[in-house]
Amino acid sequence: MRADHIGHAAAACFSVIICLQEWQDPEVDTDIYWTVILPRLYSLHCDLTRGYSSDLVVAVTTLQHRAADRLMRNRPLRRSKFFYGYVVAIASFAVIAVASGALYSFSVFVEPLQDHFGWSRAVTAGAFSASMVGQGVFSIGSGRLTDRFGPRLVVSVAGLLFGLGFLVMSRVDTIWQFYIVYGVMIAAGFSGVPAPLMSTIARWFHMRRGLMTGIVMAGSGVGTMLMPPLANWLIYHTDWRTSYMALGLILTAVIVLSAQFLRRDPSEKRFRVFGSDEPTDERAAQTSMRAGLQFSVVMRTKQFWLLCIAFAGFGYAFQSVMVHVVIHARGLGFSPASAAAIMSVVGGFGIVGRIGVGGLADRLGSRWLLTIALAALSLSLFWLVIADQAWAIYTLAAVFGFAYGGVVPLESYRAAELFGLRAHGAILGAIVFSVLIGSAAGPALAGYGFDLLGSYTMPFALCGVIAALAALLTFFVKPLPSESPQQVVIHKDL
């Protein structure tokens, strides 16, 4: 036997001692042994099997590797004063902020596009509706891909598509190009943001899931406060093409860079879930991630379909206002800057709604909060029908922003509360699909209603009725009659 074999053999014997020590005391810190000595052990296996081709050696070393593998899986999760979940939350916040802000800047571009191309209000708003349909279709896939591959890859690809879509938008010259860019490229890019990130936050946080989801989704409010005024300023000082190009560069840089800090769940970095009382071994952490119902089972429940219909109604009412409120204010005599400032008010109070309602969900649950938030949204829309003064428009924008902001974190929270985390990405993707189907119908029909009637009175009143019906539906979404989904685990995968 060569000298290097003797060295490897010594390392192997030493690692067996460490195995026994760790088996007896799981709290012992043996990282150096597993990162330095265990690779030497595997190297010994390769050398011996290559040099001697002994069946006995192969059998012994294979058993030894399986034992070491079993010990590695049972190693305790890392304990650290710094919780990596906060890095995931900060990165998610940044992605949500720039993506949502850029998307909701669409209302600022409506008038410049109409003036440049001569399109009608309904035709122009229809591109946003096409984007909503595309986002809905792609969201189901993005949720399932996140369950399988994690958010880093999904969000990185989404950032590239989203930014490229805005860059291409700066060069469009025809209506079909406009619809293709918004309906495919921008839709595919944005679909890889909300569902994957909300599902990721739900996996990292247990005790403060509602609060942290609200804080992350508050990024949408921050983006809505900053990006539309930025786009409006760029349009005023340059033109709408330059504004689209600048937003595209910002999107690509921020989203792709932030995505590199994302991880699917604590087991990927060997941390425990924040606020979880689960045992500290990795298998227990993975079991926690698998707790809940399969997507095929969820689709057969009444609760799932009621929730999807209610969120479709929310999307219809919410996006109708987001697309048309700026141009509606212009028709009431607001200046371009004052009209764009309405979006900043909506975004600011949306932040308060996301954080406030998300934090309350941790204490009170999400069922009643969801119903109340949708009811408040409905009241604000009826108010919008009769408001014609600046103070009234800004006040209802505050109520509307708080109400819609409160609904957003409850999408993820309610899904986890009802169905668990096993297929949370796919379930949330289906819910987002429902929101976006409603979001696709709302702006186009509201624009058509304006072209037909010459005012937004009836379109906004219809939005109020639909939001009220959505609130009523959520009242009937009761917990599943079987055991809690957090306790349902499919053991065959373990």
One-letter amino acid at 132 equals: M
What is the average per-residue pLDDT within 103-120? 84
**Contact of 343 with 326, CB cutoff 8 Å:** yes
Q: Looking at the structure, give the CATH architecture of the domain made up of residues 85-271+288-493.
A: Up-down Bundle (1.20)
Q: What percent of the chain has pLDDT over 90?
A: 15
Q: Which residues contact 6 (CB under 8 A, 6 or more apart)?
A: none
CA distance 321 to 387: 14
274 contacts 207 by C-beta, under 8 angstroms: yes
Q: How many whole angstroms separate alpha carbon 490 and alpha carbon 479?
A: 20
User: What is the structure's pLDDT at 43?
Assistant: 52
CA distances from 458 to 99, 446, 448, 452 (A): 31, 9, 11, 11
- Of the candidate ranges 44-53, 74-83, 292-301, the one whose mean pLDDT is the lowest: 44-53
Question: Considering only CA atoms, which of 186, 216, 159 is closest in space to residue 350?
Answer: 216
CA distance 478 to 404: 22
pLDDT of residue 454: 83
What is the pLDDT at residue 288? 46
Query: For residue 209, what pLDDT band results from cuts at 50, 70 and 90?
Result: confident
Q: How high is the pLDDT of residue 466?
A: 94
| Residues above pLDDT 70, as percent of the chain | 75
Cα-based distances in Å from 423 to 29, 137, 431? 34, 18, 12
**Least confidently predicted of 19-23, 112-116, 185-189:** 19-23
Confidence class for position 267, pLDDT limits 50, 70, 90: low
pLDDT at 316: 92
pLDDT tens-digit series, residues 282-327? 444 444 444 667 778 888 888 889 988 999 999 999 888 887 888 8
H or E segment and range at residue 25? none
Name the residue among 35, 23, 31 with its Cα closest to residue 70.
23
pLDDT above 90 for 490: no
pLDDT at residue 277 greater than cutoff 50 = no
Instruction: Give strand pairing partners of 274.
Output: 205
The token pair at 164 is 């490229």
Q: Is the dihedral of CA 166, 172, 175, 180 positive or negative?
A: negative
Residue 28: pLDDT over 70 = no
| Stated length of the chain | 494
3-state secondary structure of 148: helix
Is the pLDDT reported for residue 80 higher than 60?
no
Which band of pLDDT confidence, cut at 50, 70 and 90, is reported for residue 253? very high
What are 402's two structure tokens? 């708080």
Going by C-alpha positions, the residue among 197, 122, 191 that lies closest to residue 437 is 191
In the predicted model, what is the mean pLDDT of the chain? Answer: 76
DSSP tag of 276: -
Q: Give the pLDDT confidence of 380-435 residue by residue, as tens digits.
A: 989 888 887 888 888 888 999 899 888 887 887 788 787 877 777 778 778 888 88
pLDDT of residue 147: 77
Q: Take residue 378 and report the two structure tokens written for it.
A: 């409905």
Cα 428 vs. chain centroid, distance in angstroms?
Answer: 9
Whether the predicted pLDDT of 184 surpasses 80: yes
State both tokens at 208: 């403060």
Instruction: Tell me the C-alpha to C-alpha distance, in Å, between residue 58 and each of 7, 41, 45, 122.
Output: 19, 13, 8, 72
- CA-angle at 348, arms to 346 and 350, nearest 5°: 65
Give the CA distances from residue 73 to residues 21, 266, 272, 477, in Å, rounded to whole numbers and listed in that order: 15, 14, 14, 39
For the record, the structure tokens of 324 come out as 């048309």
Q: How many CB atoms are located within 10 Å of the residue 2 CB?
A: 9
Model confidence pLDDT, tens digit, residues 432-482: 888 878 877 888 788 888 888 888 889 899 999 999 999 999 888 777 765
Predicted confidence at residue 49, as pLDDT, reads 46
Higher pLDDT, 274 or 363: 363
- Cβ contact 377:474 at 8 Å: no
Nearby residues of 406 by Cβ (< 8 Å), 6 or more positions away: 353, 354, 356, 357, 358, 369, 373, 376
- SS3 at position 205: strand
Taking the C-alpha atoms of residue 345 and residue 400, their distance in angstroms, rounded to an integer, is 9
d(CA 355, CA 210): 8
CB-CB contact of 315 with 132 (8 Å): yes
pLDDT at res. 59 = 41
For residue 462, the model assigns a pLDDT of 92
pLDDT, position 35 = 45
d(CA 468, CA 317): 10
Asked if residue 176 has pLDDT above 80, the reply is: yes
The reported pLDDT for the residue numbered 271 is: 53
Closest CA to 231 of 109, 362, 410: 109
Specify the amino acid at residue 458: M
Mean pLDDT of 273-280: 45
Residue 142 has pLDDT above 90, yes or no: no
292 bridge partner residues: 420
